[in-house]
Structure 1
């Protein structure tokens, strides 16, 4: 039961970026697999590890492509990433997405002016939401895999 609580904390970590939620979920599943020490437990761990690795790639690739298709250049995305990292340390909980969106707005404001920068900023907000949705979906699938593995062992 404690393992399911750990996964629930990981899911909260995805929604409130204070801790790496998917990595916490992976660690909890690895701990559960070690305690159970049965082939089914290791299969669940393998599934969750592949799922989280794949979702990590997808959560950056898909929104990044969405931004590039909207005409946001890589330099604006990089500035958004840098300000997102700074924001993570300056403003707890919401600093990462706030810094990312602010960075894109500032870069685009300088590049194309206020009016067009608003549009790319909205696109950046959608990209952040899409990234969060991808990671949350992977976390929920991982939690479901652990639950199914736990009740069948």
Structure 2
């Protein structure tokens, strides 16, 4: 594979890392797609081994992030529907208030949903913090899986 194509693959992986961290795009899938292109173009046992390692890392992080977030939300007694309300509010406010609307809508939606459910502002804020913590954990876990995939690619570049 030529150096220019490897740079393009690396840039797409960078987009995947940033997009996954900001939760705008499915970063792991973008990274795997770029890595698959590199694997097919490079060929050989090393390239396919790198691809398998990356798939396992991204898949494992996808499973672990839902288990960890789910356990965290269950402990805090926050239903999944609350997070859905927060996500919808975040998407709506993203278009109303550029840049910060996603965060404001997500936090506000979760807080208002929990306030209407629990009828206590302190409990609602506690549930909101738990939901935000769970969301941060999912981002970090997905980032870890994506970084392992990109790291495997870098090792593959060095070896091939």
The interval holding the TM-score normalised by the smaller chain is 0.7 to 0.9
CA offset at residue 89 of structure 1?
6.5
SS in 1 for 2:28: helix
Question: Which runs of 5 or more residues in structure 1 are unaligned?
Answer: none
In structure 2, the residue matched to 1:14 is: 20
Alpha-carbon distance between aligned partners in 2 of 1:142 and 1:121, rounded to the nearest angstrom: 32
In structure 1, the residue matched to 2:146 is: 139
RMSD: 2.3
Give aligned pairs, total: 153
Structure 1 residues 65, 80: CA separation in 2 closer, same or farther (over 3 Å shift)?
Answer: farther
Question: Which runs of 5 or more residues in structure 2 are unaligned?
Answer: 1-5
Alpha-carbon distance between aligned partners in 2 of 1:91 and 1:37, rounded to the nearest angstrom: 47
1:66 aligns with 2:78: no
Structure 1 residues 45, 96: CA separation in 2 closer, same or farther (over 3 Å shift)?
Answer: farther
Larger radius of gyration: 2
In structure 2, the residue matched to 1:23 is: 29
Pairing of 1:2-151 with structure 2 (within 5 A):
2=7, 3-84=9-90, 86=92, 98-112=104-118, 113-151=120-158
Query: TM-score w.r.t. structure 2 length?
Result: 0.81
